[in-house]
Copies of this chain bind each other. A is one copy, B any other.
């Protein structure tokens, strides 16, 4: 979609499908910095894209021409989006700085988009390597944690692309993300409220 370092200016909103943004370091290592689902906006950089954006599945996106020429109203909207992005980034810093593999994967599962009404079934459209690079783990560890949670009856994978959460309470507890506050801009990690 776009590559790290290219000149920016256009943001995107996901209409359908899933997009990931990645940062590649000099040694070829990859850090997935975000997954974007229906309605999410990415590519808010002002001058040069700091990350690459890639399609995880087939996607349709809507382009947003951002500032600077757009009016104050849109500036306000961009500010709002940036605050949301900021809040998510903060969450990620805490996740990566203070959480174990088990907690990370649990939190990640809870952040997945729901497929059915009661939110027990989640879509898992990205490969394990993407999840690993997103959580700062290896594919192996992610796989092991999935297996562990399954063995304990907390989740139940349907196939590669779907999971059923059997015990969301326990998952919440494990993830250790109790939000002390309800603020809209503070934490929107559980993306669907």
User: How many copies of this chain are found per oligomer?
Assistant: 2
Within 8 A of B (CB), among A63-106: 67-68, 71-72, 75-76, 78-80, 82-83, 85-87, 89-90, 92-94, 96-98
Q: Given contacts A75-B75, A79-B79, A183-B48, are A189 and B27 in contact (CB under 8 A)?
A: yes
In the complex the two chains form, is A136's CB within 8 Å of B97's CB?
yes
In the complex, which residues of chain B have a beta carbon less than 8 angstroms from the beta carbon of A189? 27
A29 interface contact, C-beta 8 A: yes
In the complex the two chains form, is B186's CB within 8 Å of A47's CB?
yes
In the complex the two chains form, is A31's CB within 8 Å of B180's CB?
no
Bound CA–CA A135/B178 (angstroms): 22
We find that the number of chain A residues with CB closer than 8 angstroms to chain B is 59
Bound CA–CA A189/B47 (angstroms): 16
Q: Given contacts A79-B75, A94-B31, are A50 and B89 in contact (CB under 8 A)?
A: no
A117 interface contact, C-beta 8 A: no
Bound CA–CA A86/B45 (angstroms): 9
> Quick one: CB contact mask for A164-193 with B, threshold 8 Å, 1 for yes?
000000000000101111011111011111
Q: Which residue of B lies closest to A135 (CB)?
A: B97
In the complex, which residues of chain B have a beta carbon less than 8 angstroms from the beta carbon of A191? 27-28
In the complex the two chains form, is A181's CB within 8 Å of B5's CB?
yes
In the complex the two chains form, is A26's CB within 8 Å of B178's CB?
yes
Within 8 A of B (CB), among A1-20: 4-5
Bound CA–CA A139/B42 (angstroms): 36
A37 interface contact, C-beta 8 A: no
Bound CA–CA A23/B4 (angstroms): 30
Given A29-B192, A47-B185, A82-B82, 7 new contacts (CB under 8 A): A5-B181, A31-B97, A33-B90, A33-B94, A47-B183, A82-B83, A85-B86
Q: Which 5 A-B pairs have the closest CB atoms?
A: A97-B136, A89-B89, A96-B96, A72-B72, A48-B183
